[in-house]
Amino acid sequence: MCESYTCRATRRWPTKLFFHSLDIMALNAFIIWRYHNTAPGQRRKSERRNFLKVLSRELIVPQMTRRSTEGYLKDYTKHALEVMGIMLPKPIPVPIEPTGSKLKKGCYVCKTSSRTQCSTCTQYICKTHQIKTIICAHCAEN
């Protein structure tokens, strides 16, 4: 029964052993779940498949939630998080003023080298993580 839902073919024995133990754990969890949640004689055709989908989602969501709070994510990672329904935190706008410093240091978020510093906290920040504010001359005087 374990072999009916596995799709991982590998020649490396440690990997094969790991995936086989995962299959056995998933089957045991399904048997326990079915014992507690279904009436005798009541079975659906794709019950195990649906259980495995729900189980995998419940195991993935905490990791994805933790990952969404990291400073810099690639676009494809952001898209995958949005598809799974994980809300990404909005960046906090920090007004910056570019400084003409010749010294390059790493961005405090992603460690990319940059010469620009934040006008409030003076930490170095790259172009990806900076938010520029544009104001008119009248507002600048006030």
Q: What gap in Å lies between CA 70 and CA 111, rounded to an integer?
A: 13
Q: Which of 128, 132, 100 is nearest to 116 (CA)?
A: 100
115 burial level (CB within 10 Å; 0-12, 13-18, 19+) = middle
Q: What is the pLDDT of residue 38?
A: 76
Task: Flag whether pLDDT at 4 surpasses 70.
Answer: no
For 138, the token pair is: 């009248």
Average pLDDT of the segment spanning 44-72: 84
**131 vs 21, 38, 92, 97, 140, CA distance in Å?**
48, 54, 9, 10, 17
Provide the mean pLDDT of the chain. Answer: 78
Say how many C-beta atoms besides its own lie within 10 A of residue 29's C-beta: 13
pLDDT confidence of 28, banded at 50, 70, 90?
very high
Q: Which of 7, 59, 8 is nearest to 29 (CA)?
A: 59
Q: What is the pLDDT of residue 48?
A: 86
Average pLDDT of the segment spanning 56-72: 83
Question: Higher pLDDT residue, 107 or 103?
Answer: 107
